[in-house]
Amino acid sequence: MSYHEKRKQFYNSVENFWADLYGEEYALFDIALIEKAEFEKIQLASERIGQIFFKMCSLLREVPDQTLLDMGFPEETLPFIRLKTIAYETIISRLDLIPFNHTYKCIEMNADTPTFIKELFHINGKVCRKFGEYNPNEGMDTRLGQAVKQGILESALWKKKKNPYIVFTAHEENEEDRETVLYLQELCGLPSRFVPLHMLRIEKEIGLFDENGVKIDILYRQTFPIENLIADEDEKGNKIGLWLLELVAAGKLAIINPPSAFLLQNKAVQAAIWGLHAENHPFFTNEEHSWIEEYFLPTYLESDYFIKAGLPFVKKPSFGREGDTVEIYNQNGLLLHEDIQKSYTRYLPVYQQYVNLPTRTFMSEKGKQEGHVLVGSFLLNGKPSAAGFRVGERITNNLSYYLPVGVK
């Protein structure tokens, strides 16, 4: 049987999954094998990187508004992003890591609306079983369900609501968004409903309502980024996205991921982390400084450092996803590669040292290919969890493949 036939047969047996995206192959019928010790190294790196990011939250809540504006946070979000509604800064977050010199470098944290969830927590195990390999993410789906449930229960306490009305939402027409949210809803096991985004109704300063006019207490919006939300308007030009944030700020609605997740979504946070590290600031302990040195890349709000040092660098928007608007420059500041999509040019750019993504070969509908590997590693309530591979171009974008991973 050909690769095409085996892949089609396998993924046709998997319900509610997007094996193809944008009319192209997305999930590969292949497996990358790594050593158990290597997977443990990814987890250790993820835990330490997460600790650094979460510690920054305490500092960012204390800085003046102007500092947050200088970091590129939209002014409309300032009354909202310092809120601390639950114990954890973010329930589900994903680190993007590059294997480098026997360790891992973090290129960004997706703290607010990370994707790649169902692939690693659910599909990876199915592929491993098919290939007869051990799934390094075994049992992580149970922990995922517990994390979502805990986040909702803590949000209910914040809302002082004993039996909250919980709604999960997503863009109904987007299969990946919808099925990711439905998967999380099923895993958490709490009484709740799925209501598509376009069916929600908001009344300024009063509340958010479902299609039947029932007031919502907790909104789980795994795939609707806050930087998109603040620009959301209804047909009358009402800024309904801002109205929603105002409801959260007034304690009339809880949202998950919580507001603090947006505080960490900004890539300029890495520039702040690196700035404190570069001056050996006592905010971080000696051990934390050693972690930053090992796991983080020099990141600034200007490109001068890299041009003076003769280092290649990446320019990316402080808020952006899927490689959109990312550009790679050589050591002389000349543009080498850029993503064709330019959706995030309005955001403050961040400059980060460029390191090569390693390559590996894999099977696909187009035959044997070689692609650049990016590691996606999840944190659940700040603790390391499932991890896996995307393979594609130098700039990992929404056309990159999902490559399942197994342990040797």
pLDDT of residue 230: 86
The neighbour count for residue 207, using CB atoms within 10 Å, is: 17
The one-letter amino acid code at 269 reads: V
Distance CA 281, CA 261 (A): 24
Distance CA 329, CA 311 (A): 9
- At residue 316, φ and ψ (nearest 5 deg) are -140, 155
Distance CA 191, CA 206 (A): 24
CB 111 within 8 A of CB 50: no
CB 292 within 8 A of CB 343: no
CB 131 within 8 A of CB 403: no
CB 373 within 8 A of CB 89: no
The closest of 101, 172, 106, 94 to 140, measured between CA atoms, is: 94
> What token pair was written down for 21?
């995206």
pTM for the predicted model, two decimal places: 0.96
pLDDT of residue 201: 97
pLDDT of residue 225: 87
pLDDT of residue 159: 87
The closest of 122, 120, 344, 342 to 228, measured between CA atoms, is: 344
Distance CA 197, CA 169 (A): 6
In this structure, which long-range contacts are made by residues 243-249, counting pairs with CB atoms below 8 Å and at least 24 apart in sequence? 243/202, 243/204, 243/205, 244/202, 244/208, 245/76, 245/77, 245/79, 245/80, 246/79, 246/204, 246/205, 247/202, 247/205, 247/207, 247/208, 248/80, 248/83, 248/85, 249/79, 249/80, 249/83
Q: If you ran DSSP here, which 8-state letter would residue 225 be given?
A: -
Query: Residue length, the chain?
Result: 408
Distance CA 244, CA 208 (A): 7
The CB-side HSE value for 349 (13 A sphere, CA atoms) comes to: 16
Task: Quickly tell me which residue has 């960004």 as its tokens.
Answer: 108
CA 308 to each of CA 2, 114, 305, 331, 332: distance values in angstroms, whole numbers, following the listed order: 52, 35, 5, 9, 9
Per-position pLDDT tens, the chain of length 408: 999 999 999 999 999 999 999 899 999 999 999 999 999 999 999 999 999 999 999 999 999 999 999 999 999 999 899 999 999 999 999 999 999 999 999 999 999 999 999 999 999 999 999 999 999 999 999 999 999 999 999 999 998 888 999 999 999 999 999 999 999 999 999 999 999 999 999 999 999 999 999 999 999 998 888 888 888 888 899 999 999 999 999 999 999 999 999 999 999 999 999 999 999 999 999 999 999 999 999 999 999 999 999 999 999 999 987 778 899 999 999 999 888 888 889 899 999 999 999 999 999 999 999 999 999 999 999 999 999 999 998 777 667 999 999 999
pLDDT of residue 69: 97
pLDDT of residue 397: 67
Distance CA 34, CA 363 (A): 17
